[in-house]
Amino acid sequence: MLVFTRKRNEAIVIGDGIEVVVLRAARDVVKLGVNAPANVAVHRREIYDLIRRENASAARPPEEIDRWISQLARGPRPGRRESPR
C-alpha cells in the first residue's frame, strides 16, 4: 500500500482525473473531498461491502433458476388460480 502524509488542503491524484483532498483532520476523523469524472463511482467502503455481501447472498447458480423456471412453467403458482387451457 502506498502511504502519504498530507496536510489539510493537500491532495493526492490517482490516475487520470481523480483527486482526493484532505479537507479537515481531527484525532479520529478525516474529512476527504473527492474529485472524479462523472462516470467513476465513488462509495464508502462499508456501504460497498454491505451491498457486495447482499449480492453474494442473493446470487443463485443458473441451474437453480432453470429448475425454478421449469417448475413454475409446469405447475400453477401457489395462491394463483390456474387458468383453463
Partner 1 sequence: MRHRSGGAPVRSSSERPHAALPRPDGAWPGEPPGARPDGDEPRPEDVIAFPDGLPGFEACRRFVLLSSSELAPFSVLRALDPPAPAFLLIDPVAVLARYRRVLAEADRRRLQADDQDALLWLAIVSVGGDRSASVNLRAPIVINPRLMIGCQVMPHESLYPLRHPLTL
Query: In the numeric block, which cell numbers belong to residue 54?
Result: 447482499
Per the CB < 8 A criterion, the answer to whether 44 and 52 are in contact is no
- Give the nearer residue to partner 1 in terms of CB position, either 5 or 57: 57
- Give the nearer residue to partner 1 in terms of CB position, either 10 or 19: 19
* Amino acid at residue number 52: R
Measured distance CA(24)–CA(58) in Å, rounded = 38
What's the closest the beta carbon of residue 3 comes to partner 1, in angstroms?
A: 25
Interface residues with partner 1 (CB under 8 A)?
Answer: 38-39, 41, 43-44, 47-48, 50-62, 64-66, 69-70, 72-73, 77
